[in-house]
């Protein structure tokens, strides 16, 4: 119980420290343009990152990209239209089957190694108990 709690506490602490320090990170020029529309405020961090005051062409590209992204409305409802239904179904099915197969794989490996002592025995027991693929004639060697 203590080991599992401590192993879960390490990533949580890293995420917490990162969230605290996130307050002190400077904002990106593209986020400043999207949220405030203040081009002069977005120019300063861009000049600091590039190390030069000649950033007008890049700033105009960022402004144009922001205007294009703001012109798109209802992007999440657009994927529910019949034009994109096959892509949506395939994306959901791929994610679903990936989760199911990964969970089954991990569960089978946990079942194989439970109750055995030593990593060599656990690996051998997993290999012995793994089923042969359908249609193959590979025997399961027993030692």
**Taken in order 31, 35, 37, 41, is the CA torsion positive or negative?**
negative
Task: State how far the alpha carbon of 66 is from the alpha carbons of 27, 78, 95, in Å.
Answer: 15, 20, 31
* Closest to 28 measured CA to CA, from 67, 59, 71, 68: 59
Ordered per-residue pLDDT tens for the chain, 143 residues: 567 777 888 888 999 998 888 888 778 888 899 888 888 899 998 898 889 889 999 999 999 999 988 888 877 788 888 888 899 999 999 888 887 777 766 766 666 655 555 555 555 555 545 555 555 555 544 44
Full-prediction pTM beyond 0.85? Answer: no
At residue 141, φ and ψ (nearest 5 deg) are: -75, 135
CB atoms within 10 A of CB 42: 25
Sole residue written with tokens 């096959």? 86
Q: Which residue has the tokens 């999207």?
A: 34
User: Do the Cβ atoms of 39 and 59 come closer than 8 Å?
Assistant: yes
């Amino acid at each position: 119980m203590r080991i599992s709690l401590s192993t879960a506490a390490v990533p949580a602490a890293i995420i917490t420290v990162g969230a605290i320090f996130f307050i002190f990170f400077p904002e990106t020029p593209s986020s400043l343009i999207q949220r405030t529309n203040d081009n002069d405020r977005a120019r300063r961090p861009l000049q600091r990152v590039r190390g030069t005051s000649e950033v007008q062409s890049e700033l105009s590209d960022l402004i144009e990209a922001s205007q294009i992204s703001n012109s798109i409305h209802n992007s999440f409802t657009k994927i529910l239209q019949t034009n994109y239904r096959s892509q949506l179904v395939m994306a959901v099915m791929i994610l679903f089957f990936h989760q199911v197969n990964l969970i089954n794989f991990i569960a089978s490996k946990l079942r194989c190694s439970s109750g055995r002592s030593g990593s060599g025995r656990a690996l051998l027991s997993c290999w012995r108990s793994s089923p042969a693929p359908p249609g193959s004639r590979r025997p399961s060697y027993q030692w």
